[in-house]
Amino acid sequence: MEKEFKTGNIEGVIIKNLKKNLDRRGWLCEIFREDEVEGFKPVMSYVSITYPGVKRGPHEHREQTDYFVFLGPGNFEITLWDNRSNSPTYGNKMIFVGGVDNPISVKIPPGVVHGYKNISDERGMVINLPDKLYRGHGKREEVDEIRYENLKGTVFKID
């Protein structure tokens, strides 16, 4: 029987509104401060561009925490599922929008399935500051991902 998820907050997920400080030169935005996300230490960062209508994920990590930043260009519909059987919010699902119209960062703990879709008519940019190195030191380890996007019959679907 397929697990049903209900709308609700997810323990350990932190969504933070970001402020773009504008002046005549452009804008500046603080995307991470350790005093605002205590206990979380990023070890790498990357930027990705996603074309209009394209989905990334859903997938989850066994050990890695992701820290996504949606500033623009573009807007994204982000979907999270709490798949941690020992979590008080197990079975909850969140859907929200982040990007140029709603600049946010999102901290996603291990075991929370996540994915997003570019809902703009333009390319969208996403920054991630995870707390684990991709494929470990020297890229010699297995990737810490459980991928759902190509599994038939999965409950984890992005519309």
pLDDT tens digits for range 102-118: 999 999 999 999 999 99
Within a domain: residue 36? no
- Asked if residue 146 lies in contact with residue 59, where contact means CB atoms within 8 angstroms, the answer is yes
Within a domain: residue 114? yes
Within a domain: residue 25? no
| CATH number of the domain where residue 80 is located | 2.60.120.10
Within a domain: residue 157? no
Dist CA 14 CA 149 (whole Å): 24
Cα-to-chain-centroid distance, residue 64: 12
Within a domain: residue 12? yes
Task: Give residues with Cβ within 8 angstroms of 56, minimum separation 6.
Answer: 48, 50, 115, 116, 117, 126
Q: How many domains does the chain have?
A: 1
**pLDDT tens per residue, range 26-40:** 999 999 999 999 899
Within a domain: residue 32? no
Band of the pLDDT at 2, cuts 50, 70, 90?
low
Within a domain: residue 57? yes
Within a domain: residue 60? yes
- Name the residue range of residue 100's domain: 7-20+41-147
Task: Give residues with Cβ within 8 angstroms of 69, minimum separation 6.
Answer: 18, 31, 32, 104, 105, 126, 127, 128, 129
Q: pTM for this one? A: 0.94
